[in-house]
Amino acid sequence: MGPLQHPRGGTVSEPRTGPDPANGPAASPAVAAGAPPTVLTVAGSDSGGGAGIQADLKTMLALGTHGMSVLTAVTAQNSLGVRGAWPLPPEAVVEQFRAVVDDIGVRAIKTGMLADATLVETVAGLLGTVDAPVVVDPVGVSKHGDSLLDPGALEVVRTLLLPEALVATPNLDEVAQLTGIRVEREEDMRRAADAVLALGSRWALIKGGHLRGDAVDLLTDGTTEYRLRAPRLDNRHTHGTGCTLAAALAAHLARGTDVPGAVRAAKEYVTAAIAAGFPLGGGIGPVRHGHGIPPVGGPVD
């Protein structure tokens, strides 16, 4: 595995074990020979299995990595919407994170639903103790429009969480929440990306899936710009796309791919997952995370 970029611009090379206040964040313990790259998701649970922790772990497995989780909140949701959400105590989040990182180690981290200001602050502090690339998916609302982040947490996301990110992956609604910029057309995306970069993320990936026409995402570090296009697919079953894209990006970073290459690969994966999305329940079904994995025992009738 090649060296990994991380939010402060260096690389993960010779592992250190344990925190070293004099030298900054500790690198992860070495991964055992033969073990897949380890990826950690810090996010909420989706009881319907289409988004959140469940989507992240399926994605990480599909892309050849070992997914691990820190649960931040429990939601009661299905294909029709979110019925309720309950954040976990900060101490539970800290203990999960330290249990995984201090023993197993991580090669990349993805954050998702963090629910409230206390949890955002807690997670931002934890990220600062680990020398690994971080993908921040600043989850604000669900696919159905249900709020997943307390409005009082937005300032903490801006000032503490985004500065820990190697890549931030907001959709257009989240861009508006974080920066006040409303993207109405593709030409507005660069201005939105610059506003996200100004909050501290090293790269901004602005997801333009809500615009008309092709599904266009813009990736930039402020100097280099990439536009990633995919045909808009005629499939309403897209639950979990944002979580899936960010988890796929983290998985490819953990495998040693640079940011532009990891974003391209993640975009290809999620586009294929959307194409294979399927109906489930009475509302919006999920993307198919295992679209490239043949069923064990052959096709299911």
Residues carrying an active site annotation: 207, 238, 240-243
Query: What φ, ψ does residue 289 adopt, rounded to 5°?
Result: -65, -30
Residue-wise DSSP of 138-167: ---B-TTS-B-B-GGGHHHIIIIIGGG-SE
**Dihedral angle of Cα 29, 53, 125, 30, to the nearest 10 degrees:** 10
Burial of 222 (0-12, 13-18, 19+ CB in 10 A): middle
Angstrom CA distances, 107 to 11, 35, 199, 241, 270, stand at 11, 12, 24, 23, 21
Looking at the chain, which runs of residues are DSSP E strands? 38-46, 66-78, 81-87, 108-111, 134-136, 167-168, 203-207, 215-220, 225-230
Amino acid identity, position 191: R
Gap between the Cα atoms of 251 and 268, Å rounded: 13
Gap between the Cα atoms of 263 and 202, Å rounded: 14
Which position has the token pair 């979110």? 82
Read off the tokens for 62.
Answer: 């599909």
Q: Is 18 left (phi over 0), alpha (psi -120 to 50) or beta?
A: left
Which position has the token pair 């290459």? 261
Which residues are 11's β-sheet partners? 5
Gap between the Cα atoms of 31 and 106, Å rounded: 8
